[in-house]
Amino acid sequence: MMKEMRQNMPLIMWILVIAFLITIVVSWGAGGFRGSGPKQGVVAEIGSREILYEVFAKMVQDRIASERAKNDSVALKEEDLTKIRAELWDQLVRNELLGCTAKGISLKTVDKEVAWAVRNSPPENVMKMEYFQTDGQFDRTKWNAYVNDPQAREGLVELEKDYRQTIGNQKVLDRIIAGVFVTEEEVRRDFVDTYGRFSAIVTGYPAKSIEVDTNSFTDEDVRQYYLNHPEQFWRPEMRAVRSVTISNAPTAEDTIRVLDLAREVLERARAGDDFAELAKEHSDDPGSASKGGDLGYFPRGRMVGEFEETAFTTPVGEISEPVRTRYGMHIIKVLAHTGKGDEDTVRASHILLAWKASPETEEFASEKAREFQELTKKVDFQKAAESLNLTVVESDFFTQSAGTIPGFGKLKAAIDFIFSEPVDKVSYPYKTQKGYVVFQCHIVRPEGVQDVSELQAVIRGKLVAKKKLEVAAEKAEALRQKVGTGNNLASTAISEGLAVDTLANTVPTGYFGPMRSNEYVGRQLFTLNVGELSPVEVTEQGAFLAVLTEKASFDSALYESKKAEIAQKLTKSKQNEIYADWLSTVEKEFDFRDNRHLYFTEY
């Protein structure tokens, strides 16, 4: 058995390295967007420490290869790639920051801890390897023999390195969440919120049914409301930016390149080259390229007009001339044709050569963006734009919490820059779907209470809403006095012309008909006894009365069976909150800088 393992040592080493390559190699290398930025080729910085784009890209490509190996018949969509990048990025950042924290507090992992973990906690993928199994089950004796084999030393180095980091990270996490605990009261309340059930009858006065004259409020009423509620009119800091966009749209030369490539690919296909392999090599359709361009069967009306007409008129087995659509040039091979009339369907494969910018066009746009940014160090933003024949666009005011820049959408890195740098500071270029954009914050509206002159209509609206709830509450209290007991609620409400809603088998945190979702109200109702009339419940929707018609008794046996599970869930939730707060703080402490916007448009 040891001889067999030695023969397969390279395979085992490769698996261990790939499975546990979560530490970051820090050295210079090429790759990524070649425009200007904090540092070329660097996707993140933690203090003076640099994380290379090529290293992160390699992690992403390895994950993509792993996902495709699981199911090569399903092509990864763009949202799948975005999710993969996000998951790996979180892992990368977490490991780096936890490692920095461990060093900062002199927290060490000793060799004995690492050795114990390697021997007693082998990786899951290793446990599934045939070399370490007996009768289909992981054989710890074989694993121990491997660990003790001197020739396995090289293969275990990466595993030990990973375990050392993992153990150290866990020690830091244990310190971060050490003070988290959950009380018996919290567990019991969560149980009731989840498993408590009641039915009720609800009636009352929705605010929208109450008429209030807006003109009944004076300017003094508005001023007093403003003075008494300054917190309602607090406005966070807002900024407005100037920007120039250097387009990276395909040029005429790029279009000619696509047309020439389409003709070349067509000639190869008709000369006998495998169509599926050509699709995998050239097609820009992410949904079909990995499947050799196969689109399956589709009826009329599914595809764009030009594509559909060609697909339905090309004989089975033949390859069409290139077809132009708004997406690019399509080379179509018809595989089957079935049905007639409305039931007519075609099975076809295609190679899409998309209208996209060439590397030269991308390079030109990025270089021009960098040229513009450099020029703003010598002349002002407007003059720099004029000298390069660029148009300056000014945005409306926006807040950092809004998460978007008017006209550009979600650009987190750019927003962080805009709100962290002084007025007139010029950003480095950000790659967006429109091209390369350079921003300059030119106006700051400081945080503070808005002036009352800007709020006349808003405050009058609040006064009207407040008055409606007051009137609704008065009416509901009068109804409550008239009803007397819960048994009379429905009949009295109907005689008053009020709507009556029935809530059936509702949880305390559920939806309460006209009262909508309201945890406070739900918990209040659950404390009532069956047949007991509630006090007037005032929500944003109005003022209401309710009477419970059914209520499940507290299930002590179920509670005991669920208590540990609930406590664990609540503890985990609290731990996640504390961890998120810690992560936000430590990113600033270690001067973490995220440069993903230079490489991926979603940032």
Angle between helices 275-282 and 252-270 (to 10 degrees): 160
pLDDT at 40: 65
- CATH classification for the domain delimited by 2-177+591-598, as one of 3.30.70.1520, 2.40.240.20, 3.90.950.10, 1.10.4030.10: 1.10.4030.10
> How far is the C-alpha of 234 from the C-alpha of 409, rounded, in Å?
25
Chain centroid to CA 533: 45
- With beta carbons less than 8 A apart as the criterion, state whether 542 and 469 touch: yes
> Model confidence at 92, in pLDDT bands (50, 70, 90)?
confident
Q: Is 241 helix (H, G, I), strand (E, B) or coil?
A: strand
Q: Using alpha carbons, select from 554, 538, 558 the residue that is nearest to residue 546.
A: 538
Distances in Å between the alpha carbon of 528 and those of 230, 359, 547? 37, 70, 8
Residue type present at position 171:
K
Sheet arrangement for strand 592-594 = 49-52, 42-46, 592-594
Q: How far is CA 454 from CA 233, 253, 268, 459, in A?
A: 10, 53, 68, 10
Angle between helices 153-176 and 556-589 in degrees, nearest 10: 100
CA distances for 81 relative to 57, 64, 68, 293, 597, angstroms: 12, 8, 12, 20, 15
Q: How far is it, in rounded angstroms, from Cα 243 to Cα 369? A: 11
* DSSP letter string, 346-414: EEEEEEEEE----HHHHHHHHHHHHHHHHHTTTS-HHHHHHHTT---EEPPPEESTT--BTTTB--HHH
Residue 527 bridge partners (DSSP):
none
- Region of 41 (left: φ > 0; alpha: ψ -120 to 50; beta: rest) is left
Three-point CA angle 437, 439, 445, nearest 5°: 145
Least confident among 288-297, 383-392, 459-468:
288-297
Place of tokens 């509901």: 476
- pLDDT at res. 166: 86
How far is CA 258 from its chain centroid? 34
pLDDT the model gives residue 390: 95
Cα-flanking dihedrals φ and ψ of residue 344, to 5°?
-65, 130
Burial-class residue 293 by CB neighbours within 10 Å (0-12, 13-18, 19+).
Answer: buried
CA angle 27, 32, 35 (to 5 degrees): 110
Please identify, in words, the CATH class of the domain defined by 237-248+360-446.
alpha beta
Q: Could you report the per-residue pLDDT of 22-64, keeping only the tens digit for each?
A: 333 322 222 333 334 456 688 888 888 888 888 888 888 888 8
pLDDT range class, residue 7, cuts 50, 70, 90: very low
Name the residue ranges covered by the structural domains of the chain: 2-177+591-598, 197-210+455-551, 237-248+360-446, 252-356
- As a whole number, the mean pLDDT across the chain is 85
Asked if 318 contacts 275 with a C-beta cutoff of 8 angstroms, the reply is no
Residues whose CB falls within 8 Å of the CB of residue 397, separated by 6 or more in sequence, listed in order: 238, 239, 240, 443, 445
Helix axes 111-120, 153-176, angle to 10 degrees: 110
**Contact present, 25 and 32 (Cβ < 8 Å):** no
Domains 2-177+591-598 and 237-248+360-446 share a fold: no
Region 509-538: mean pLDDT is 86
Degrees, nearest 5: CA angle 347-348-350:
160
Cα–Cα nearest to 589, from 103, 92, 87: 103
Q: Both tokens of residue 414?
A: 């750019």
For 131-187, the pLDDT digits (tens) are 888 988 988 898 888 888 888 877 788 788 888 888 888 898 889 888 899 999 999
| Cα–Cα distance for residue pair 416/439, rounded to 1 Å | 12
CB atoms within 10 A of CB 595: 22
Distance CA 235, CA 118 (A): 55
Dihedral angle sign, alpha carbons of residues 461, 465, 466, 467: positive
Q: How many CA atoms lie within 13 A of 340 on its CB side?
A: 0
Architecture of domain 252-356: Roll (3.10)
Q: What are phi and psi of 323, to 5 degrees?
A: -110, 130
Question: pLDDT at position 73, please?
Answer: 55
* Residue pLDDT, tens place only, 173-228: 889 888 899 999 999 999 999 999 999 999 999 999 999 988 889 999 999 999 99
Locate all alpha helices (DSSP H) within 124-152, ordered by sequence.
Answer: 124-127, 140-148
Q: Which of 279-283, 314-318, 410-414 has the lowest mean pLDDT?
A: 410-414
pLDDT band, very low/low/confident/very high, at 289 (cuts 50, 70, 90): confident
